[in-house]
Structure 1
Amino acid sequence: MKKLFLYIVSLFILVGCSDEIPEHERPVQSKRAILAYLIANNNLDTDIMNNVVWMYESLAQSQDSCSLAIYYKPSSSNAYINEAQILTFFTDGHGQINGQPVLEGSNITTGNVVEQALKYTAVPGIATDTEVMQANLQAMADIIPAESYGLIFGSHATSWMPAEENPFISTKSFGQDGSAYNSINIPEFADVLEASFPGNLDFVLFDACMMQTAEVCYELRNATHYCIASVMETPTVGFPYHRILSELYQDEIDFNQICTDVISFNKEMGLWGTYAVVDCTQMDAFANAVREQIDQHASALENLSLHSIQQYGVKNGSTDFSYFSFDVADFIKQLNEGELPVLFQQTLDQTVLAKSCITNSHSYPYGSILTDESKYCGIGMYIPDAVLDTRWNDYYRSAISWYQTVWSE
């Protein structure tokens, strides 16, 4: 009943607060629409606002009709948006966005981009609340009906780790709406996507830290086809949407090109990075392959040195995410005396479709984490009890499906 109420309220809000384009004036929409769910009520607001400008730049250069809807939850200091809103852009591929000539050159400013957007007041509430998130995703899909969707999620994140706040380290799973505890855990996040886009969600792109893990992708296996993300903490500047957004509208996305373009941008900026694309529909087969290796080498696990395996967590001051995620292929190699079994390699190749990385970056402390490209397979996973934190380990065993399938015995 509460979900129905929220949805009805959202329709009244959206109808009452929009500058609607008449139906006959709307451009013909492409088969795939892109929705962005950006939770910027935190210290990333300036960077995420700049990402919106980059998205606009890509649309302005597009020669195809494209549709983009952005849920944006700003911080109190945002000078352009003072409440959660849905910003929509329709480009006709002939130099117009929302029926107006595209902004060019020095006119592409944050203020002008926000002004040209068609605006809808979003369903109010904490952006990571499951019912609020689902209502706003549904609202965006209603504004931009399409055959399929691609979703971009931007905010803070910490992969599978449960959302909790303490004086030493705050974990967020996905999202931070004000308080670090205003986050959504990954199993609940996957449920929202499954309910919102049954069978028509082509990809999820996480512009957020640490999300390309087996635990996350396994939870998403029934929610989306592809996951584009990084296994490491990501630079605050975000993805270079002015270079990659147009590719995300293509019927056949060139995932290798996207990973290459992001890494090239990060190199130009003197940053670090690991980016990969996982086929989430292959995660059941991937989980079985990992479990088979663990079963075959159960005795070797007792003497396995975690320090010998490529890990992706960073200790930065009082914040320490060390050993939250290990490279899956490097882990399997360690169990097989340095060799990756042929059958496992085949399954890995079917699961991780594209990857690219920067090694030996001078960006401290993140650049020193990955020094050998051969140790990066594109996806990480936790090894139970690698971190001596009973809260993490208890949650991992009780809530994460990957554990139940791969590690439970």
Structure 2
Amino acid sequence: MILNKYKKRYLITFLCVGILQIFASCKKDDKLLEINSDITTIIYMEANNNLRGEARKAIHELEGGLLNTKAKSNILVYIKDNDDIGYLLQIVANADPYRIVSDTIMSFPFYRKSDANQIREVLTYVDKRYNSETYNLVLWSHGTAWSPGADYLSPPKSKSFGEDRGQQIDIIALKDALPMHFNFIVFDACSMASIEVLYEFRDKADFIIASPTDILSDGFPYKAFISALSYPDRNSLIRIANSFFNYYDIQQGLYRSASVSVTDLSKLSKLASYLKLKSDHDRVYVTDGVQRLDFTPGFPVKLYDFSDFITKNFKQEDADAIRKLMDEAILYKNNTKEFLGNKIYKFSGITISCPLPDDPFYTYYSELSWNKDSFFLK
């Protein structure tokens, strides 16, 4: 039995009352400390949901992490945790775990719940203000792989990125909202290391760090790797992912549950092209016995380990070639042997789905870039 209280974005570790007033009271200083850096990292928090306390904890970790690093880069947080205003903060070092001292750079009124246009507005403002050579992005909220937002269909209920009291953003709208290219994107949200998500963002970033399973409530341990945000090299990407894995691997019991991968998005086109050559629309894909990585009861889409799915559905020669291409794209992968009591026998770092024609999301899936380019489904 999987206990909901252990799920990422269900366990609140801080009671955050009046967080709106906390940010509103931050004095905007027109003489903000200018950090001489060509690298800017934006952590975009959709927290107008049951994540308010988790958002505050993450900001404290960022402030605390800056105390012990000499890295010089811009680290910004945009947090939306209420119905009226979102706040863009420039993170500054702070040892006080009960008070957020980061400077409020700008406030953004909004008129709809979770909205891709708001993401575009915030990121466009950041680009104009900082004009950095390199940008990194952390997308922080609920997540359910490629599953469309609740506007798409009412049943089944889904929690795609940015859940805001029943409103979500699907990955196509989210991808289209990103106004600049990123060195890397971190999804601090559940189940976003699916081939469908990764491929959709292949022109928006060089790399993606994400989990193919749920993420437990603590999320990514920002304090452990904050200095890595100042360096655009691959070793920094692996350090971020490895810090995430190590944080959970030393836990006890059900809390020892984690999976993560780093994907080079430039390698995915070859993978899609090869599958297109081998596609057979009359093929009936086998899913029985394939390693599942969706462990939440009622999860809106089925997630299969990519490698295990390929092994059971293609002849050995083709499966070997596909796995080789996939391994070239995966810079790093790691997982605990169990996730919330569910054994993981096969793990490639990426998931894939295979909705049947009677699936309510089948039509939506057929319009994803992955399906169009790989001819995976009819």
Instruction: Determine the structure 1 residue equivalent to 2:205.
Output: 224
Instruction: Determine the structure 1 residue equivalent to 2:13.
Output: none
Q: How does 1:330-341 map to 2 (within 5 A)?
A: 330-336=308-314, 341=319
Give, as a single letter, the amino acid of the residue that structure 2 aligns with 1:259. Answer: A
Which residue of 156, 162, 174 corresponds with 1:175? 162
Instruction: Determine the structure 2 residue equivalent to 1:259.
Output: 241
The Cα of 1:44 is off from its aligned counterpart by: 1.2
Q: How does 1:182-193 map to 2 (within 5 A)?
A: 182-193=167-178
* 1:142 and 2:128 correspond: yes
Instruction: Determine the structure 1 residue equivalent to 2:34.
Output: 26
* 1:109 and 2:97 correspond: yes
Instruction: Determine the structure 2 residue equivalent to 1:378.
Output: 349
Contact kept, 8 Å, 2:71 with 2:230, in 1: the verdict is no
CA distance in 1, matches of 2:46, 2:318: 40
Give, as a single letter, the amino acid of the residue that structure 2 aligns with 1:18. Answer: K
The 1:83/1:394 distance shift into structure 2, 3 A limit, reads same
The 1:315/1:35 distance shift into structure 2, 3 A limit, reads closer
* 1:40 and 2:40 correspond: no
RMSD (Å) for aligned C-alpha atoms: 2.5
Which residue of 87, 90, 93 corresponds with 1:88? 90
Which residue of 243, 246, 253 corresponds with 2:227? 246
* 1:63 and 2:70 correspond: yes
The Cα of 1:332 is off from its aligned counterpart by: 1.3
CA distance in 1, matches of 2:369, 2:85: 36
The Cα of 1:384 is off from its aligned counterpart by: 2.8
The Cα of 1:27 is off from its aligned counterpart by: 2.8
The Cα of 1:336 is off from its aligned counterpart by: 4.2
Contact kept, 8 Å, 1:59 with 1:66, in 2: the verdict is no
CA distance in 1, matches of 2:197, 2:321: 23
The 1:32/1:188 distance shift into structure 2, 3 A limit, reads same
CA distance in 1, matches of 2:350, 2:368: 16
Contact kept, 8 Å, 1:266 with 1:273, in 2: the verdict is yes
The Cα of 1:126 is off from its aligned counterpart by: 3.5
Could you say which structure has the larger radius of gyration?
1
The Cα of 1:212 is off from its aligned counterpart by: 0.7
Give, as a single letter, the amino acid of the residue that structure 2 aligns with 1:174. Answer: F
Instruction: Determine the structure 2 residue equivalent to 1:292.
Output: 277
Give, as a single letter, the amino acid of the residue that structure 1 aligns with 2:294. Answer: G
Instruction: Determine the structure 2 residue equivalent to 1:405.
Output: 373
CA distance in 1, matches of 2:327, 2:59: 33
CA distance in 2, matches of 1:313, 1:176: 19
Which residue of 327, 332, 347 corresponds with 1:349? 327
Question: Percent identity at matched positions?
Answer: 21
Q: TM-score, normalised by structure 2?
A: 0.83
The Cα of 1:39 is off from its aligned counterpart by: 0.7
> For 2:361, what is the secondary structure of its paired residue?
helix
The Cα of 1:241 is off from its aligned counterpart by: 0.6
Contact kept, 8 Å, 2:44 with 2:139, in 1: the verdict is yes
Contact kept, 8 Å, 2:286 with 2:313, in 1: the verdict is no
> For 2:90, what is the secondary structure of its paired residue?
strand
Give, as a single letter, the amino acid of the residue that structure 2 aligns with 1:220. Answer: F
Q: Deviations over 1:304-346 (max 9, x none)?
A: 5412111211242xx244x622111111111246787443233
The Cα of 1:263 is off from its aligned counterpart by: 1.3
The 1:265/1:33 distance shift into structure 2, 3 A limit, reads same
CA distance in 2, matches of 1:168, 1:191: 25
CA distance in 1, matches of 2:157, 2:230: 35
Q: Deviations over 1:14-47 (max 9, x none)?
A: xxx832226xx52312x32100110110011111
Instruction: Determine the structure 2 residue equivalent to 1:120.
Output: 106
CA distance in 1, matches of 2:318, 2:65: 41
In structure 1, runs of 5+ residues without a counterpart are 1-16, 77-81, 90-96
CA distance in 1, matches of 2:89, 2:296: 37
Aligned residues between the structures = 346
Give, as a single letter, the amino acid of the residue that structure 1 aligns with 2:206. Answer: H
Q: Deviations over 1:51-86 (max 9, x none)?
A: 11111122221112121111101147xxxxx84111
The 1:253/1:118 distance shift into structure 2, 3 A limit, reads farther
Contact kept, 8 Å, 2:72 with 2:230, in 1: the verdict is no
CA distance in 2, matches of 1:229, 1:280: 12
The Cα of 1:408 is off from its aligned counterpart by: 4.4
Q: Which has the higher helix share?
A: 1
The 1:360/1:132 distance shift into structure 2, 3 A limit, reads closer
